[in-house]
Each structure stands twice: as C-alpha cells, then as structure tokens.
Amino acid sequence: MNIGLQLRGYLILRRVLQPVMRRVLAGRICKAKENAARAGERLGIATQVRPTGRVVWMHAVGLGEVLALRPLIVGMQQVAPDLNFVITSTARSSADVLGQNLPANTVHQFLPLDGPTYMAKFLDHWQPCLSIWSEQDIWPGAIHDCAARDIPLAYVNGRMDNKSTAKRARLAGLYKKVFGLFDLITVQDEQTAENLSSLGGRDVRVTGSLKPAAEPLSVDVGMLATLQVALEGRKIWVAASTHCEDEAVLIDAQRELVKRDPSWLLILAPRAPARGDEIEGALVQAGLTCTRRSKGGQPDPSHSVWIVDSFGELGLWYRLAAAAFVGGSYGSLGGHNPWEAICLNLLVCHGPNVANFAKDYEVLDYSGASQPLPDDASSVPVLVDFVVQSQTTQANVGALVEDAKEALKPLVKDLIAMIVAGR
C-alpha cells in the first residue's frame, strides 16, 4: 500500500503518542468528560461479546449522527438478516440515549483512541466485514488499519463545508491518501461532493441526507400517557438542544405567551443538561416559574417552564408539544438536527445560523415545515406568532420522508455488495 509521506508520518506519530493519549483520557475521566465505567472501550477493550456471524462496524461522532444511521441498518438487515452491527461514537452523551433507540442486533461502543494498539484490540475483537464512516468524523489511523486488513470501507452521508475543507487542505497529502482508501463515498450535497473530490475522494455521489429517513425517536408509552393526562389543558411547545444564546430569545417569547395566556408551558431541553442551575437562575430572574426534571419536578398549573435536564427523553417531549424550536441556531454553533422533530410531524422554528444543516433547512423552510427567525428585535414577536399558530397547524412532511427512504435502497444494495465481494 502506497500511503504517502504525510500519512506515514501520522502513523508514526500516533504510535509514539499512545502514552500521551492514555494520560489525556485519564484527565478527561477525572473531569467527567468520559464515561468512567466504559473508559476501557476508548482503549479498544470491548464490553460486549462479539455475536456469531458477520459484523458491520459503523462510526458517527455523536447522538444525532448515530441515530441517522438507523434506517440504513434496518435496510441492510432486511436484505441480509444475519448481519450484526457495532456502532461507535465519541460523544459521551450518545451512550445515554442510544440503548433504547438502536435496531435489533446492534450494540454501541465508544470509538477507541486512534493509537495502533487500541485500534488493533478493537478490530481483533469485532472482526468487521465492512467499515462505514458517516458525516464528518474521520480518523486516519483507524481507516488505514481497516484498509491494511482488507476490510472494505464506505463513507456515507458525508458533510463537509468549505471551512472544514480548508483546514484539511493544510494536510492535503494525508487526506488524499485517506479518502482514497474508501471504496464508496456518498454525500449530502453538491458542495460536499466538490470538497471531498478536491481532497482525493473518488467517484463521490450525491444522495442527500439520511436524516429524513430516520425512524421516530422512541418513547415510554406509559410515561407519555401519564403526562398527557397531567398536562391536559396546557398549551405546550418545546425547545430542544438549546444553548444560552437561544434561551435569551426563548425566555422573552415565553414571558409574552404567558402574559397572553397562563396555560402556555415551555418544555426546555438544554443541549447540556448540566446547565440546569444556570437556566433555572435565568428563568427566575426573568420572572418565570419553573420546575426541573432532574429534581423529580413535574409542572403544575403555576409553572410556565419545565426544564427537562435529562438524557434520552426527547421523543417524549416532542410528542407532548405542538411546535418545536431547535437550538444551536443563535450564536455561532450552526444549529442542531431538525429531523427528529419533523419526523414526528412537528412544525419547527430556528434561529438564523443553521450552517450545519443548511440544505436540510432550505428544503424544510421552502415546504413550510420550518420557519426561520430573524436575528434582530423582531425575533421574539415572530417566534410568539409561530408558536400560537402552531396550535392549529401540523407539519406535513410525509413526501420528504418517503423520498429519503427510497433513496436509501440503492445505497443499501451497494453496501451489501461490498460485503459479498470483500475487498
């Protein structure tokens, strides 16, 4: 295998830095940035038994990206029922939600650090017949190790903006070799296709986003029924994956809604549940009454905001609401995934910065399933009007979802063919 000078240098460096990786991991555990009980997975030590038969390894960085892979797993299992899947991610929060949202014969592990010893342990244990990488999280050492073992490689649902491309272009020799190792590359949009081709991707295909095809988030039906009774008579909207910049707008909007009608309830699900104290303080300062999920609180008629500072229940909150604000869209972050709400037929509104999901929102805004909010003083009245009107309107995105599911079929066929053919 001709790996080139830059990739060769990377492989040497990763071996030298393995002790440093271990120390950094220990520091992250001490700061609660890693799951201590499963820290061995980051060193390639499996915490699940390998199933008998063929195993496909899929990787995506975090929860939203992993959940977007579910329809692909289901589609592949329909064609080849004997397939088992191991999904890896790096975000700690992903493990707290995935268990109840994974398809059959699928397990989750944290991605090992990109050291040769750690990756070897992982690959020795799982022995994948195919490695699938998704979205933006690319680790050159792991990809090289798969190729060295003749494990077929696919990169699906790719997304890479110009800024990310420019960063990788500084190591063009490295990424040209890495992307050249993939046997199949499919991406969400034309811009990503151009960017990946410039970095060495071969025969890049535009297939659109996998996210519209995702199955709805799971829900505890008993809890849903209980809360529907408890909250009967309330007008409910939800703000999901919020950050402080989003909350400044949301708080002002909820104050206005409560002035009009005290029955309005905002279910506020912050991106980082650990911010519960901070959010509660801001609400109290704004004169809004609230209770918190993490403290066992459940809203009574006196509460105007319910802070749901917990993991794994977004499917519940979306089913209680008539409309959703999807956060990360004020400030510089670039927005979060709108499809989890859309797939449950919720109308979605968002702030002005949705660069991470620009193409998705372009389609949704055009179809009327989502509404952008301005980045000026008019944002609050526009949001208030949107929430009020949502009580009598429902998103109709059935055609978008069906189109996405149809687009999956050729990809499933190609991936199965890669397994059958080997490398």
Q: What is the largest CA-CA distance in the chain?
A: 69
Write down the catalytic residue from 65, 135, 247, 280.
65
| φ and ψ of 416, to 5 deg | -60, -40
Count the Cβ atoms, other than its own, within 10 Å of residue 86.
21
**What's the confidence (pLDDT) of residue 150?**
95
Looking at the chain, the domain(s) classified CATH 3.40.50.11720 span 4-208+404-421
**What's the confidence (pLDDT) of residue 10?**
95
**What's the confidence (pLDDT) of residue 65?**
80
Interatomic CA distance for residues 357 and 370, integer angstroms: 12
**N-terminal to C-terminal alpha carbon distance within the chain:** 14
**What's the confidence (pLDDT) of residue 97?**
63
**What's the confidence (pLDDT) of residue 377?**
85
**What's the confidence (pLDDT) of residue 317?**
97
Plot region of 297 (φ>0 → left; ψ -120 to 50 → alpha; else → beta): beta
* Alpha helices by DSSP H, 99-171: 116-126, 140-148, 162-169
The CA–CA distances, whole Å, from 409 to 140, 176, 185 equal 29, 29, 15
Looking at the chain, the domain(s) classified CATH 3.40.50.2000 span 221-392
Count the Cβ atoms, other than its own, within 10 Å of residue 367.
14
131: which 2 tokens? 């490695």
- Are 88 and 109 in contact by the 8 Å Cβ rule? The answer is yes
Which regions in the chain score pLDDT beneath 50? none
**What's the confidence (pLDDT) of residue 391?**
84
Residue among 123, 118, 73, 70 at smallest CA distance from 94: 70
User: Long-range contacts for 348-352 (Cβ within 8 Å, ≥24 apart)?
Assistant: 348/323, 348/324, 348/395, 349/323, 349/324, 349/325, 349/373, 349/383, 349/386, 349/387, 350/325, 350/326, 351/245, 351/246, 351/249, 351/327, 351/375, 351/379
The CA–CA distances, whole Å, from 384 to 148, 201, 252, 387, 388 equal 56, 45, 9, 5, 6
Interatomic CA distance for residues 268 and 361, integer angstroms: 22
DSSP secondary structure string for all residues of 53-69? S-EEEEE-SSHHHHHTT
Q: Are strands 305-307 and 290-292 parallel, antiparallel or unpaired?
A: parallel
**What's the confidence (pLDDT) of residue 90?**
87
| φ and ψ of 84, to 5 deg | -115, 155
Interatomic CA distance for residues 53 and 270, integer angstroms: 40
Tell me the residue ranges of DSSP E strands in 9-89. 55-59, 84-89
The half-sphere exposure of 364 on its side-chain side, counting CA atoms within 13 A, is: 29
**Active-site residue, 402 included:** no
Torsion sign, CA atoms 190, 132, 166, 63: positive
Q: For domain 4-208+404-421, give the CATH number.
A: 3.40.50.11720
Q: Class of the 221-392 domain?
A: alpha beta
